[in-house]
A and B are shown apart, each in its own frame.
Chain A
Amino acid sequence: MVIECHGLTKEFRTYKKQPGFLGTLKSFFVREQILNRAVDHFDLLLEPGALVGLLGPNGAGKTTLMKMLTGIIVPSSGKMKVLGFTPSERKLQFRRKIALVMGQKNQLWWDIPAMDSFLLLQKYYEIADGDFKKRVGFLSEMLDVEKVLHIHVRKLSLGERMKLELMASLLHEPEVIFLDEPTIGLDLVAQKNIRDFLRVYQEERQTTILLTSHYMADVEALCSRIVLILGGKKRFDDSITKFSQILGREKFVTFTFERGVDQTSEIWKSHDPKWKFEGRQVELRIPEERLRELSATILNQYPVVDFHTEKMPIERVMSTLISNPHLL
């Protein structure tokens, strides 16, 4: 196992402050402590070469978990091993083998070109000159950033910066990579670029990757396994197919018609219809085994100009679970 943790828990202490001046004055003298359990008895096993998506809403504990696994913060209790090391001991050997990419923080130095930061990283990780050149050449070609390596980082676009951030984390060829929202804030094309790169990179090297993202497209394209974390607790850990079926084996199909159709017809009734554009579009929930038969009937009887099944079932599952965790 590359990652192995049992009963991992992290508690943070915070203070309450009443609003207004009196509240401020009060907090000057007395502070009410709140114990907040960010990660709660978390178990996780990851095999070598796995690419696993860690999902959860904001504040669910994803980042805290990643920071514990990389040794940045020390867990309150529980056991964990990453590559056979205990992360919180922060052995140099361990730190050489891992990488953490955070979409919301940048490790590259703002006022100098990325290449200068890379050279510094070369020194940190003691990468031989030959290897370093080879890797920079390979990665920058793959990510298509050869032209921006020597431009001051502050002058680059967010997409370019993110690519360089990724590159910075891969120069020492880590065995495990933690990716915390690597595509956040990027436009669609940039998101896709990063995603494609990660897929190819992972297929070639079989690096173990733990990924968090709020974009289900990332998860769907990259991960075969999903771990769901809600309120610090693990709520689901299985294949992505199973995940999409949590809420039942039903398909959501949308039909678009040439003109408004009769909304009162019997055919819609048992399928939870959601109408739009004055009867010119409807979304139906259809049990998997009735999909072919029912679609054929509708196609025959109505002036259908377009129809499609739901593009990303996991997105619906995800948003349903975030607002109704009790369904799980």
Chain B
Amino acid sequence: MSMIAFMAYKVNFFLIIIGPALVFFFIKYNLWSAIYSLKEGIQIQGYDFSEMINYQVWVLIVSLLSQGFFSSQLAEDIRLGRISSYLIYPFQFWQFHLASFLGFQTIQMAVAGFTILILFGSDLVQVPTWEILTSGLVMSFVVGLIWFSFQFLIGLSAFWLEETWVLRVILITVTQFLSGSILPLEFFPLWAKDLLSMTPFPYMTHVPVKIFMGAYEGSLPILVGILLLWLGIISLVCGLMWRSGLKRYSAAGM
């Protein structure tokens, strides 16, 4: 059902979800072309021009696969008091939203798959092996779950805040910068890189991109383990917020 809802907003779907990712890629492609065009064949922090573009293409794919789910509906449900009707339904609130996330994810897979096929036809990207492709996809899916849990967390903040979009923009701005989707983390100063390695941010773009490029050296199971740990932590926070938010909600009779 949620897939139908998404398709019904066909223009919005393109404008909100796919458009921004494409424009982001487009700008970076132009920017890096301009940077690399000054000297023929230079390498910056280990990236030559084609590797940089390769990196940015995979950033695009990873963001299509994992990001973009826009759970503003959750916040709206809470703000407008529509949450009461969910409380009567025979399933959990988060189950409903997870289901709509999964429905959305299916469409995103198709969009990403389509993009990958087009890109393989061009010479912008090196075609990875099946093994690499699969592990990249698995990784992206888990990252998608993390994004979803973050979005859910922000949605829940609607119990306390009148508007949640600011938090969402903050999340996206910070993550885009710190996860390496604007520029690879190799470009960051050393101290910043060390600091970042203790946060979930690198895993949200940089690491999956490296996997797709076949340049990741660590082991995938450990990675997924780390991500699931983060996922657990965020879910725990969500659970706590949901409970205290609900108490507040029923107490205020909003």
Binding site for B on A (CB under 8 A): 17, 20-21, 24-25, 27-28
Contact = CB atoms under 8 A, between A and B. Distances in A.
A17 B7 CA distance: 12
Among all A-B residue pairs, the 10 with the closest Cβ atoms: A24-B7, A24-B4, A28-B10, A21-B4, A24-B8, A28-B7, A25-B7, A21-B3, A20-B4, A27-B8
A274 B209 CA distance: 79
Contacts of A28: 7, 10
A25 B13 CA distance: 13
Interface residues of B, dominant DSSP: helix
B12 to A, nearest CB: 13
B131 to A, nearest CB: 34
Given A17-B8, A21-B4, A25-B7, 9 more contacts: A20-B4, A21-B3, A21-B7, A24-B4, A24-B7, A24-B8, A27-B8, A28-B7, A28-B10
What class of interface size applies to chain B in its complex with A?
under 10
Nearest to B5: A24
A21 B8 CA distance: 10
A25 B3 CA distance: 10
A83 B10 CA distance: 44
B104 to A, nearest CB: 14
A225 B3 CA distance: 52
Interface in B1-25: 3-4, 7-8, 10
Most chain B CB atoms below 10 A, which of A21, A24, A25:
A24
Nearest to B162: A111
B102 to A, nearest CB: 15
Contacts of B3: 21
Nearest to A23: B4
B60 to A, nearest CB: 24
Contacts of A21: 3-4, 7
A23 to B, nearest CB: 8
A20 B7 CA distance: 11
12 contacts: A17-B8, A20-B4, A21-B3, A21-B4, A21-B7, A24-B4, A24-B7, A24-B8, A25-B7, A27-B8, A28-B7, A28-B10
A110 to B, nearest CB: 11
Nearest to B8: A24
A27 B3 CA distance: 14
A28 B4 CA distance: 11
Nearest to A20: B4
Contacts of A25: 7
A24 B107 CA distance: 14
A20 B10 CA distance: 15
A27 B8 CA distance: 8
Nearest to A25: B7
Interface string B96-108: 0000000000000
Nearest to B4: A24
Nearest to A17: B8
A17 B8 CA distance: 10
A50 B14 CA distance: 52
A25 B8 CA distance: 8
Contacts of A27: 8
B98 to A, nearest CB: 20
Nearest to B3: A21
B161 to A, nearest CB: 14
Contacts of B4: 20-21, 24
Contacts of B7: 21, 24-25, 28
A27 B4 CA distance: 11
Contacts of B8: 17, 24, 27
Contacts of B10: 28
Nearest to A28: B10
Nearest to B13: A28
Nearest to B6: A24
A28 B3 CA distance: 13
B151 to A, nearest CB: 24
Contacts of A20: 4
Interface string B7-46: 1101000000000000000000000000000000000000
Nearest to B7: A24
Nearest to A29: B10
Interface string B43-65: 00000000000000000000000
A25 B4 CA distance: 8
A25 B10 CA distance: 10
B132 to A, nearest CB: 33
B141 to A, nearest CB: 23
Nearest to A21: B4
Nearest to B1: A21
B103 to A, nearest CB: 11
A213 B31 CA distance: 61
Contacts of A17: 8
Nearest to B10: A28
A14 to B, nearest CB: 14
A68 B7 CA distance: 34
A24 B10 CA distance: 10
Contacts of A24: 4, 7-8
A107 B7 CA distance: 33
A183 B4 CA distance: 38
A49 to B, nearest CB: 43
A91 B4 CA distance: 44
